[in-house]
């Protein structure tokens, strides 16, 4: 074998080694790149597993049951309080959607102011529209039309100016002639009527307590 053959073999071997090294580097780089961009398994990237949820379920159910029990107890207590309030004086009557506009607070105040402006001998004590229907409390400071007798006729001029036929109650309280006028022409059911009576008593008590 001559020297040229040996040289050829040496060159071929060197090229083979270089190619192997190059392939090794390519394989190594490819593997590293794959690892760097590996999105991971579904278990590593997803939320809690089904087993995790099942493990937490008993505790959550127990907490929900406890809250339901507490809500039920509060509703029962609310019912008792409302019942007691109803026995004591009835519950406030909300304004019905179909209440006539002329008997709502804004227009009622204008009507009362206009009616009172032309009257003498009648004092306005209170106009309460906090609930349905508005209640007007006035006092006649003149001698009664019938001596010794309290009469709603002492307020005819006022009720005629507001609307004839309005429900009115007059009473002598501590020597004072007070009148309570219910400002609505609608027929009141028993619940509302009873509540009106309670409101009258409270308004009268407050007016008398505030008297000098």
Where do the structural domains in the chain lie, given as residue ranges? 44-88, 101-210
Q: State the average pLDDT over residues 104-129.
A: 93
- Cα–Cα separations (whole angstroms), residue 140 to 31, 158, 170, 178: 105, 11, 10, 7
So what's the pLDDT on residue 49?
87
φ/ψ of 54, rounded to 5, equals: -65, -35
Burial class of residue 161 (count of CB atoms within 10 Å of its CB; 0-12, 13-18, 19+): middle
CA distance 181 to 43: 77
- The answer, yes or no, to whether residue 200 has pLDDT greater than 50, is yes
So what's the pLDDT on residue 53?
84
Whole-prediction pTM value?
0.57
Q: State the average pLDDT over residues 17-31.
A: 43
So what's the pLDDT on residue 104?
95
pLDDT greater at residue 51 or residue 138:
138
So what's the pLDDT on residue 210?
87
So what's the pLDDT on residue 76?
56
- The answer, yes or no, to whether residue 3 has pLDDT greater than 80, is no
Burial class of residue 76 (count of CB atoms within 10 Å of its CB; 0-12, 13-18, 19+): exposed
CB 186 within 8 A of CB 199: no
- Cα–Cα separations (whole angstroms), residue 200 to 91, 147, 167, 170: 14, 25, 12, 11
- The answer, yes or no, to whether residue 161 has pLDDT greater than 70, is yes
**Cα-to-chain-centroid distance, residue 41:** 49
In which band, very low, low, confident or very high, does the pLDDT at 175 lie, cut at 50, 70 and 90?
Answer: confident
Beta bridge partners of 180: 137, 169
pLDDT greater at residue 23 or residue 138:
138
**% of the chain beyond a pLDDT of 90:** 40
Helix count and strand count (H, E) for the chain: 6, 4
């Amino acid at each position: 074998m001559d020297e040229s053959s040996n040289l050829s073999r040496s060159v071929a071997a060197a090229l083979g080694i270089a190619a192997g090294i190059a392939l090794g580097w390519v394989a190594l780089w490819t593997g590293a790149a794959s690892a760097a961009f590996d999105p991971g398994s579904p278990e590593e990237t997803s939320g809690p597993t089904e087993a995790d949820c099942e493990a937490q379920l008993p505790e959550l159910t127990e907490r929900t049951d406890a809250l339901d029990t507490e809500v039920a107890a509060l509703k029962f207590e609310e019912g008792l309080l409302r019942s007691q309030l109803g026995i004591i004086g009835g519950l406030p009557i909300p304004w019905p959607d179909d209440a006539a506009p002329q008997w709502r607070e804004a227009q009622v105040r204008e009507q009362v102011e206009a009616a009172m402006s032309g009257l003498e001998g009648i004092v306005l004590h209170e106009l309460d529209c906090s609930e349905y229907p508005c209640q007007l409390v006035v006092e006649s400071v003149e001698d009664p039309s019938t001596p010794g007798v309290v009469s709603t006729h002492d307020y005819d001029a006022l009720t005629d100016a507001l609307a004839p036929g309005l429900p009115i109650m007059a009473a002598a309280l501590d020597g004072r002639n007070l009148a309570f006028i219910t400002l609505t022409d609608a027929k009141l059911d028993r619940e509302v009527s009873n509540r009106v009576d309670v409101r009258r008593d409270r308004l009268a008590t407050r007016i008398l307590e505030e008297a000098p």
